Amino acid sequence: MTIPAKYQDVGEGTIASYNFTDIASGEGFVRFYAARLSGSDILTGNVVYSDTIETASNFVDTADTPVLVSTFNFDTTKFNLPRRMGGTAIVSIPAEIASTSATAQVTAFLKIVKADGTVVDLISGSGKFATSSSQEKMFSFSLVVPTTLIKKEDKIRLSVEQWRVDTSGSPAASTHYIGHDPKNRAAPTITTIDTNLIMDVPFRIDL
């Protein structure tokens, strides 16, 4: 009599450990930190020192429509094994706007970078500063990620965009800051909130 083999679903059970789990939903979460190194922007599970704690982007806008100020693409290393992602990801982004009248927003995109370089958008979230004056804010986004197979050699990407969203054509200059230090060191400008940019990614686990 031949005993049938039981094959585990691709991508499940391939992660040795999780930062935390949700048994009810069958999700295991892996925490990634964004960091800017010399020559690359990364997502890593290690609490490393970022080359800079925060990044500033200066801008002057006289238009009445939203204008993209800056974009940051933080990538993981290539996956060595296929894994199945799905569930609710949590992204926390420390940011600041310094201006007398400009308004701004921050948008986060969760993407997959395929082995051939093709980029697939999965989900995004955005939020605005409450007022048009200088302030710091920790943006926290809950992103419902569709069940997605990450194949071997694929990467996860977190893209963060900073937008100036004036509607009155104000000529006032603005400086847009984003924190990205896994060590959560004090920054020169972002001083009242944490400086580590964190993303908790859900993976399906075999219960």
pLDDT at 173: 81
Alpha-carbon dihedral sign for residues 62, 138, 160, 191: positive
- Please report the domains of the chain, with CATH numbers, ordered by start residue: 33-204 (2.60.120.260)
pTM of the model: 0.88
104-130: pLDDT as tens digits: 899 999 999 999 999 999 999 999 987
* Encoded tokens for 93: 């982004």
6-64: pLDDT as tens digits: 433 333 434 458 888 887 888 899 999 999 999 899 999 999 999 999 999 998 766 66
pLDDT at 102: 77
| Mean pLDDT across the chain | 87
Section 190-207 average pLDDT? 92
